[in-house]
Amino acid sequence: MKKPILLFTLFLISTIGFSQQAGKFRFGMDFGPALPKGGGIGALVNLEPKINLANNLNLGIRMGIAALAKDVTITTLNDNYEGEVSANVSASGTLDYYFNNGGSNFAPFIGAGFGYYALSAVEVDATTIDNTDVGDLEATFEWAPMVRAGVELGKFRLGAEYNFVPNSNLQDPSGQVIGEAVNQYFGFTLGFYMGGGRWRGI
């Protein structure tokens, strides 16, 4: 019984007093559920290379994909429908600030980003809209901000993010705008990172 307690105590001691090293690169991967604004469900995966500008500040490029079943408004039919799952791809510049200068490996953070979202085609089952043939509804490309917050513990990361992607126009096969798709979404993420330089006490 004493040996597991001793090992756990040594682990805690070894994780206290370290921080990421300025000037070094790190690479992170996050994944989790995504919740479109107004209803629906989905999932997301983010890959993010970063450089540590300081021991508590880093700059990165988040490359993400979010598969969402989101709400679709068909204005010509004056009604709302749920689209089939579509995958949106994004690339955003990010900046994260950590409330930690080396006193612990428990590091809360806040962050923000701005990037380009490629919104894939949204398909609506024709049988759900009075057998009207709308085909694949093409969405557009958008620039949008993102905010996030969370905590890192060792090499693991838990966070929440909100992507303020504007609604996009939907077009029928002939190119006529017939509605819009909701693109904003909230995500919960769990992930890890590699690198970051030598972990050291301050």
CATH at residue 155 = 2.40.160.20
> What pLDDT does residue 10 have?
42
**High-pLDDT (> 90) share of the chain, %:** 41
The answer to the question of residue 91 being in a domain is yes
The answer to the question of residue 149 being in a domain is yes
Residue 8 confidence (pLDDT) above 60: no
Number of domains in the chain: 1
Average pLDDT over residues 1-17: 46
The answer to the question of residue 202 being in a domain is no
Instruction: Give the span between the Cα atoms of 79 and 82, in whole angstroms.
Output: 10
The answer to the question of residue 154 being in a domain is yes
Higher-pLDDT residue of 85, 2:
85
> What pLDDT does residue 158 have?
97
User: pTM of the predicted model, to two decimals?
Assistant: 0.78
Higher-pLDDT residue of 79, 86:
86
Please check whether residue 164 is in contact with residue 186, taking contact to mean a CB–CB distance below 8 angstroms.
no
The answer to the question of residue 10 being in a domain is no
Q: What is the pLDDT of residues 172-194, one digit of tens each?
A: 666 677 777 788 999 999 999 99
Instruction: Give the span between the Cα atoms of 47 and 89, in whole angstroms.
Output: 12
Residues near 174 by beta carbon (within 8 Å), at least 6 away in sequence: none
Higher-pLDDT residue of 66, 154:
66
Residue 113 confidence (pLDDT) above 90: yes
The answer to the question of residue 181 being in a domain is yes
Neighbours of 52 (CB within 10 A): 23
Residue 19 confidence (pLDDT) above 60: no
Q: What is the pLDDT of residues 129-186, one digit of tens each?
A: 554 555 555 667 889 999 999 999 888 999 999 999 998 777 666 667 777 778 899 9
The residue count of the chain comes to 202
The answer to the question of residue 46 being in a domain is yes
Of the chain, the end-to-end C-alpha distance in Å amounts to 34
The answer to the question of residue 2 being in a domain is no
Domain with 105, as residue range(s), is: 24-195
